[in-house]
Structure formats: structure tokens, C-alpha cells
Amino acid sequence: MDCLLAGTILTRDVIAADGRVIANRGEIVDLEFLKEVTAKAPKGLRSRPLHETSIADSVLEALDAAPLEHILAPTAARGQVADALADVRFPDEIWHELESMRVEDPARFTHAVWTSLVAARMFRTALGEAPGIPRMLGGALVHDLGMRLASPKLRGKRDFLNKAEAAALEDHPLLGALLLASVLGDAPPVHFALLHHVRSGHGYPRVKTQAPLRGLDLISVASAFAAMVSPRAYRAQPFSPRGAIDQLLEEAQAGHFDERAVRLLIFCMRGAKGALGELRLPKQLTGFRPMENNHGVVLEEAK
């Protein structure tokens, strides 16, 4: 964890799904605290593969989700994606966290599953059957776990957030990293949870990494795409898949996403045919993007 990270003062206890208290209200949580939690993680916990858990049914169901139709085509690609995810392994403590998210916040649980499917397609297209892919996909599946600890009121708010609300919501990457580090120690999913909103320095938390985390750019793009094509309380309708691509292209050009990762996503949506280097980006942005989209901080405060 070679990065600088501003701390936050907890306004409530951080409690794992199995009842463990990870951190107490009033404690200052920063990178050093996260390292302490990491160092105390138990060793040698038994891990179970996804295909032995109830999460497997949700993954199989999501393979037929209409917004992911083009990314998961053709049939052979669906099989590759399913096989890659089937071997994601976690101790039961992490599977309990995902089960709790499924019960408490179905929309974010769906987002976790969709992100992992999109990421699986991208990683398999780029890396083939590289042995490290399941570990990356495990990070994709739990990258937004901290949202389980966010206020339900904020998760379901229909209007823009004010500054205080945005600051409260921006703690979720650190909280997710704490939950994961308490079980996994210093593992890739912890880094993905902590850094998935960094957006090349344009997002949060404010960090300065010494080197880009391998795979983070792909997971950030997969997460953003999955969120855009899903229903959310703060917008009237989801983006169409093409509209989400249009939005990602614009944000990549502004430096918020890695353009290579966005190109890879487009390549996958076009069936991953031919050579990625020969991919031509769309000349016109013609996808559907909702006019009413209250995502982010209230306009008067965002100026």
C-alpha cells in the first residue's frame, strides 16, 4: 500500500457481517490504521470457490441481463466468463459480506455481480487464461463492499448530494478496504476497494500512488459501466449500453478513466473480433443518456 491517504474520523462502529467490530466510532482511520488491520488479519483461512456458494446462482442469472448482452456475446465468451468467475475464492467471512449486501442492498449487490462479469470479459479478452485472473475478479466482485456500511438514506437519495452528504459517502472505499483487510490482509481486493473511485486523481479518496495498480483501470471502467446501465434513484432512466460508452469516452478524454481500458470495453462489446489495435472509436456519440441525472454534488456547491 504505497500511497498517501487522508484519514477520516468514524461516526459509527465498523461492524462486519458476522458481528466482528473492525473499528470503533471516534477512531481516526487512515493508511496506518489500515495497515494495522491488515497486519492482524488471520492466516491460513480456508477459502471456498464461488461455484460452491449461493452467489453462483446470482452470477448465472446475471449472464442473461439485457444491458450486458453485447459484452457477453458470443456464447463461447459467456462460458469463459462463467468459468473465470467460478474459481474466485474467498474465506466464508467475505462470502457473508456479499450475502448481507444482497439482502440489505440488492441494487449494489447486482452492481457487484455485473461489474465482475464485465471485468471478466475484459480480462479474458486481454489476458487469455492467465492464472491471476480469478484474483482480479475477486477484487471486482467486492470492490464496492464498503457501500454496505453507507447510510441507506444516502444510497437511495433522488436529488444531488450536499457537501456533507458527499463527504460521508466518500468514506465507503476506506470502509470496504477495512472490512476486506481484516480477513484477507494485504491482498488485491483490498487495494481495489480502496482505490476504485480514484479516477486518475480526479476522484476520491485523495491518494498519491507510487505506481498504478495492475488491473485497477479495467475494474474502474467495468464498475462505472455497470452502474450507468443500472437503475438508480438519482436518475429517471439508466444509460443505454451505447450511451454509457459515450459517457466513458468523454470522461476518458478528460483524464478520468484510462482510455485503453475504455477501448478494451468497446472491443468486447463488438465481439472482440480482429485486433484491438485496429479498433476505431465511434465518430458520433449517439447512445441514450438520461437528461435527468442527479449524480454527484448539488450544482450550486459544485461550481
- Topology of 3-302 in CATH? Hypothetical protein af1432 (1.10.3210)
pLDDT tens sequence across 252-283: 999 889 999 999 999 999 999 889 989 988 88
**Tens of pLDDT along 24-72?**
999 998 888 999 999 999 999 999 999 999 999 999 999 999 999 999 9
Residue 286 three-state SS: coil
Domain ranges of the chain: 3-302
**b/e map of 242-278 (b: 16 or more CB within 10 Å)?**
bbbbbbbbebbeeebbbbebbbbbbbbbeebeeeeee
- What the block records as the C-alpha cell of 112 is 457487484
pLDDT tens, residue by residue, 204-256: 776 665 545 679 999 999 999 999 999 999 998 999 999 999 999 999 999 88
Predicted pLDDT at 94: 98
CA 218/CA 45 separation, integer angstroms: 28
